[in-house]
Structure 1
Amino acid sequence: AKYAMKDSQTMNIKALYHRPDSNFCFPLSDHEITIRLRVDAADHFAKVELVYNSKYLIQGQQLVKTMARAYDDGTFAYYEITLDL
């Protein structure tokens, strides 16, 4: 299944994957965490953003960080970001 995005881009929505309790979200240290997102390797995006909240900020405030395309195994591509806690 393809999903239409703005600017006439499409993506394979069935390839989109993330799990918060696996190798898609893991600590690097006591103060850093890496978050990974899987997409179809054929899908290329101008920007992939992580939108999140900090439990220490006022409720409703959202933080936005740009994820980098970290690697591609031929079938899937993986975007990652490391956040300071």
Structure 2
Amino acid sequence: MVQEQLIVQNETGIHARPASEFVKKANEYESEIMVVKGEKKANAKSILGLLGLAAAKGDELTIIADGEDEQSALSAIAELINSKFGEH
């Protein structure tokens, strides 16, 4: 199991489009990927779960990956978040 704390950097937070990209990226990996925000926890492969976190700009998320490709999965998710989901 690997984990990393990341800050949501895009202006609009994780709304429908970024959540869709997040789920698409997470589903490329076999590992279980969880996203934690405060007391809330969501499966990164569930768009409704991610939207339920209501993650806004500046919120800290803990990404936890567990499985055979956990490091690759964590790196890819971190890159997606740090790229602001392509928003400028």
TM-score (norm 2): 0.29
By relative contact order (CA 8 Å, sep 6+), the higher-ranking structure is 2
Considering fraction of residues, name the structure with more strand.
Answer: 1
